Amino acid sequence: MKNLCSVSIDSSRDVSNKNELIIACHYYDSDEKQIKHVVYDILEQNQTKSEEIFKAIKDQFQIDGVKFSNIVSFMSDNANEMVGVENSVASRFRSHNNSIFQFGCICHKFNLILVNFFKFLESEEKKRNGIIPLD
């Protein structure tokens, strides 16, 4: 990929229970004058450590001639292995290009907010009904 691009990754288990790492790229196609969203690759990935995940991505980029200098952002779920400050996939991307913007998944964050909100509502309801003693 010769254009500037954003990279998104996520993993999922397929029907045979193999873990697959999905790499998506988003870039501007100047010929067609539009933003393209493509599944760049799907790699079988049995490792869950950031070092192995990043190595699989980096190896594929090297095979295809993708330069880290062309990557402007990295997006993934919000797991520490993916976006932690040190020893994460995102920190490894930044070690190759310190200008990369990092984004966590807003859907995962929104889900965490909702889960905690409903836990709070449930505890407040139990307090009102005398199930949990008031502090």
With bands split at pLDDT 50, 70 and 90, how would you rate the model's confidence at 79? confident
Span 2-19, pLDDT tens digits = 689 999 998 887 788 788
User: Residue type at 104?
Assistant: G
Alpha-carbon gap, residue 60 to 7, rounded angstroms: 13
Average pLDDT over residues 71-78: 90
Alpha-carbon gap, residue 42 to 26, rounded angstroms: 15
For 91, residues 6+ apart whose C-beta sits below 8 A from its C-beta are: 50, 84, 85
The 3-state secondary structure of 70-99 reads HEEEEEECCCHHHHCCCCCHHHHHHHHCCC
- Does residue 133 have a pLDDT over 70? no
Task: Report the pLDDT value the prediction gives residue 40, as an integer from 0 to 100.
Answer: 93
